[in-house]
Amino acid sequence: MEPNSASSIEAETKEMDVRSLSASHQHSQYLHKVGIPPKQNLLREFTARVKETLFADDPLRPFKDQPRSRKLVLGIEAIFPIFEWGRSYNWRKFRGDLIAGLTIASLCIPQDIGYARLANLAPQYGLYSSFVPPLIYAFMGSSRDIAIGPVAVVSLLLGSMLSNEIDPNQNEAEYLRLAFTATFFAGITQVTLGFLRLGFLIDFLSHAAIIGFMAGAAITIALQQLKGLLGIEKFTKKTDIISVMRSVWGSVHHGWNWQTILIGVSFLSFLLLTKYIGKKSKKFFWVPAIAPLISVILSTFFVYITHAEKKGVQIVKNIEKGINPSSVNQIYFTGDYLLKGLKIGVVAGMIALTEAVAIGRTFASMKDYQLDGNKEMVALGAMNVVGSLTSCYVATGSFSRSAVNFMSGCETAVSNIIMSCVVFLTLEFLTPLFKYTPNAILAAIIISAVVGLIDVKAAILVWKIDKFDFVACLGAFLGVVFVSVEIGLLIAVIISFAKILLQVTRPRTAILGKVPRTNVYRNILQYPEATKVPGVLIVRVDSAIYFSNSNYVKERILRWLMDEEEKVKAGCQPTIHFLIVEMSPVTDIDTSGIHALEELHSSLEKKNIQLILANPGPVVMDKLEASKFANLIGDDKIFLTVSDAVSSCSPKLVENV
C-alpha cells in the first residue's frame, strides 16, 4: 500500500471518530443517568449477605412447601444420602460396585500396611483405617467414586509431626494415644467446617501450591522408602533430602543388604511396568490395581521358602489379628498433649479435606453430578471422629484408589462397603499370612503409588499461565524436599496468602482508548489500534476500592496523569482537561476509598482538571450518594457509560484539534 493512501485512510478514520463524537454530543440530552438503588433494610441486607456467603447453594430449597413428615425424610436423607440413592439401588449397580470393591481392596491392603509404617504405626492400624471409616463414609458421603482409607501424604505428615512431639520407638503407647487424639481433632475440624458452611476456607490453599506440595511430599516419601528398599537398619528420622541422602550413602559399605535390594528393585520394576501398561490402555486398568497384592504374595512366598529373613531381609513379622479394638479411653482430653493433638489434628484434617474434596470434585465432573462440599466435610469428619474411637488414624480420599474405583465401574459408595468387608476378612483370618512379607516390597509399593503425585505437566501449565502461581508451586515443593513437610505446607499457605494480598493491595489499572468506528473504549495495551481522546484521560480500576488499596489507586491514577502531562510538555498531545474513571469493575468501595476519591478530586481541581465517573455499580453509587461525594463532584459528572462521559466533555476539544 502506498504511503499517501495509508495516510488518507488514517485521516478518514480520525474524521469518522470526530463525527461520531460530535453526533454523540448532539444527542447528549438523551443520556441516561446512573440509577441510585433504593435504600435497603440493614437487617435484611445483612441477612442476605450472610446467606449468600454461607448458604450459596440454598440447601433448604428442597424443604420449601413440604409437609412435616416429608421434611423429616428429607432431613434424614440430607445427613445420610444412602437412604436417598438406596431406594433405586439394583442388581446391575451392585455388580459394578462388587467388582470395583474387590479391585480396590486388592490395592488397599498392601498399601495400608505400608502407609501405617509411614505414620510410624504398627501395620494393623493401616488396615483398621480401611475398615471403619469407609463404612461411615458410605452412609454419609455424597461422592459415588471416592475410595476411603489412609493416604501417603497424610500418613507422612502425621508421622513427621507426631514424632516431633513423642519418639515412637521409646514411647510407643503415648505416641499411639497422640495419633488417636490428632485423628479425633482432625475429624472435629472437618465436621466444624462442614457444619458451619466454612468449606471455602480450604480454597485459600491454591491449586498451584497443592501441586508443588504433593510433588515434594511424593519425593520425600520415596526417599524415606530407601530404608526398606536397601535394607538399611539405622536411618535418619529427618525427612529433608540432604539428611536422607547422607544417611543412605553413609551406610553404603556396611548397611545395604543385597538380597533386600534384589527383591525391592525387581518388584518395583514390575509395579512400574504394570502402571505403564495401565496408562497405555485403559482396558488394562486392573493390571496395576492387582499388581501390589500379587507382589506381596510372590515376595512373601519367596522369603518363606528361602528363609531370607535369616540373611538380613527385614520382614513385617506379626500383624495383630482381629478387628478394631476400642480406643475411646486412649484419647487425650486433658494434659499437655491435648493442645499438641489439637494442633496436629487441625493441620492433618485440613490437608486430608483438601485432597478428598479435590478428588471428589474431579470424578463428579467426569460423571456429571453435583458434589455437596459441606456434606463431604461432615461425612469425612464423622468417619475420622468414629475412627479415632476405634483405633484408626486419619483417613481420607485416596486418588490412586479412587481412580481404580472409577475405572472398575463403581456405581455408588457400596464399593467402599465391599472393600471394608474384604479388609474385615483379612483382619479376622489372613493377617498371619503377612508374617514373612518383606519390608522391601512395601517400600516398592509406596514408591510406585506416590510416583503419580508428581505432575510435571501440571507444573509446566502453571508456569505458562501464571508465574506467581508457579512461585507458590515451587516454594511448596522446595520447602517439603529441603526442609520438612510442615515447612513446605507453611510456605504454600504463606505464598497463597501473599498472592491474595498482592492482588487486593495492588489492583490493576489501565488507560482506555476509543476503538475506531465504535463507541467502545478498551485498554490501549490490549487494543493498540484504540486511540486516546484529545484532552481526556480515561482510566479503569479493576478492583473494589478498600482501605487496603485506596491510597495506591489514588496515587496510581495521579501517576498516569503525570505521564500524560509529560507528553503534553513534549508537545505530543493536547493538555488534559478531564479525567474519566471507568468504575464498572469496582464492585464495592469503603470509607477509605471515598476519602481517596475526595483527595483525588482535590488534587485535580488544583490542576484545573475535572473528575468524571463512568458506570458505578449499585453498591458503589449508594455509597457515593450517602457520603455526599456525588454532590461534591456534581451529579452531572457521573455517567452511565464512558462513551456518554466522553461525548459530554470532549467535542469542543475535538473541534479545536
3-state secondary structure 226-270: HHHHHCCCCCCCCCCHHHHHHHHHHCCCCCCCHHHHHHHHHHHHH
**Residue 198 in 3-state DSSP?**
coil
Instruction: In whole angstroms, give the CA distance from residue 531 to residue 16.
Output: 13
Residues 186 and 349 sit within 8 Å (Cβ to Cβ) = yes
Q: Please tell me what DSSP assigns to residue 545.
A: B
CA 413/CA 398 separation, integer angstroms: 14
Asked if residues 613 and 639 have their Cβ atoms less than 8 Å apart, the reply is yes
With cell 503409588, the residue in question is 449
Count the Cβ atoms, other than its own, within 10 Å of residue 564.
18
Stretch 39-43: mean pLDDT: 72
Pull the grid cell for residue 442. 512395601
Mean pLDDT of 585-613: 94
| Cα 435 to Cα 387: distance, rounded to the nearest angstrom | 25
Spatial CA neighbour of 76 closest among 63, 89, 92: 63
Say how far apart CA 145 and CA 403 lie, in whole Å. Answer: 8
CATH number of the 506-647 domain: 3.30.750.24
Cα of first residue to Cα of last residue in the chain, in angstroms, is 27
Q: How many other C-beta atoms can be found within 10 angstroms of the C-beta atom of residue 654?
A: 20
Contacts of 284-288 with CB under 8 Å at 24 or more apart are: 285/404, 285/407, 285/408, 286/103, 286/408, 288/404
| Residues facing 639 on adjacent strands | 33, 614
Provide the residue type at 303 as one letter: V
pLDDT at 544 over 50: yes
Q: According to the model, what pLDDT value does residue 57 have?
A: 65
Distance CA 391, CA 133 (A): 11
Per-residue pLDDT, averaged over 318-323, amounts to: 89
Dist. CA 308–CA 438, nearest whole Å: 9
Per-residue pLDDT band at 31 (split at 50, 70, 90): low
pLDDT, mean of residues 464-485: 90
Type of residue found at 553: V
pLDDT band at 650 (very low <50, low <70, confident <90, very high): low
Least confident of 192-196, 201-205, 402-406, 522-526: 201-205
Residue partners of 24: CB distance under 8 A and separation at least 6: 519, 643, 644, 646, 647, 651
Measured CA to CA, the distance from residue 544 to residue 551 in angstroms comes to: 13
- The closest of 235, 115, 245 to 169, measured between CA atoms, is 235
Grid coordinates representing 91 are 442388581
Does position 9 have pLDDT exceeding 50, yes or no? no
Of the two residues 206 and 221, the one the predictor is more confident about is 221
The values of phi and psi at residue 390, to 5°, are -125, 40
- Distance from CA of residue 604 to its chain's centroid? 44
User: Which residues is 582 bridged to in the sheet?
Assistant: 540, 614
Q: Indicate the pairing of strand 521-523 with strand 536-541.
A: unpaired
pLDDT band at 443 (very low <50, low <70, confident <90, very high): very high
Higher pLDDT, 112 or 282: 112
Chain-centroid distance of CA 444 in Å reads 29
C-alpha distances (whole Å) from 547 to each of 46, 444, 504, 604, 624 are 21, 54, 10, 21, 16
Length of the chain in residues, anyone? 657
- For the residues 296-318, what does the mean pLDDT come to? 89
Eight-state DSSP code of residue 390: T
Element (H, E) at 541: strand 536-541
Element (H or E) spanning 611, and its range? strand 610-614
What percent of the chain stands above pLDDT 70? 92
- The grid coordinates of residue 276 equal 505403564
- On the CB side of 635, how many CA atoms lie within 13 Å of its CA? 8
Strand ordering across the sheet containing 578-582: 521-523, 509-514, 536-541, 578-582, 610-614, 638-639
What does the longest C-alpha to C-alpha distance in the chain come to? 101
What are the grid coordinates assigned to 514, written together? 476509543
d(CA 288, CA 286): 6
Q: What is the mean pLDDT of residues 327-336?
A: 92
The residue ranking higher by pLDDT, 528 or 42, is 528
Query: Any idea where the domains of the chain sit in the sequence?
Result: 89-495, 506-647
